[in-house]
Amino acid sequence: MALDGASLTITAVDDKEGWFEIMMIAYTQEKVVMGGKKEGDEVNVEVDMVGKYVEKSVKGYFEEGSGGSMASLERLVEKIVERKMVQK
């Protein structure tokens, strides 16, 4: 995702309420226009279409009974995160 041309990582999303959060380190805030924005200011939002396609494909696979379940996906993600945390 990019806001006003600055590529960013989303840290939280609430689809029901229609909001998302990003995090910017101090250096980035100093170098891009987003650091000077105030609540209510307009921004240009660019979304990664490949990410959207992957999300839809994975969600469809696990929600439509094509061989997986959301519970198995959650367990898989938990195992991957746990392994990554142990490696650090």
What pLDDT digit, counting tens, does each position of 19-67 carry? 888 888 888 878 888 778 888 899 888 877 777 777 777 777 777 666 6
User: Are 57 and 88 in a shared domain?
Assistant: yes
- The pTM assigned to this predicted structure is 0.42
Please check whether residues 42 and 6 belong to one and the same domain.
Answer: yes
| Residues forming beta bridges with residue 14, ordered by sequence position | 19
Does 56 lie in the same domain as 37?
no
Looking at the 3D structure of the chain, how many domains does it have? Answer: 2
Domain that holds residue 25: 1-47
In degrees and rounded to multiples of 5, residue 85 shows phi and psi of: -70, -35
Are 35 and 56 in a shared domain? no
State whether 8 and 42 are in the same domain. yes
CA distance from start to end of the chain: 27
Backbone angles phi, psi at 35, to 5 degrees: -60, -25
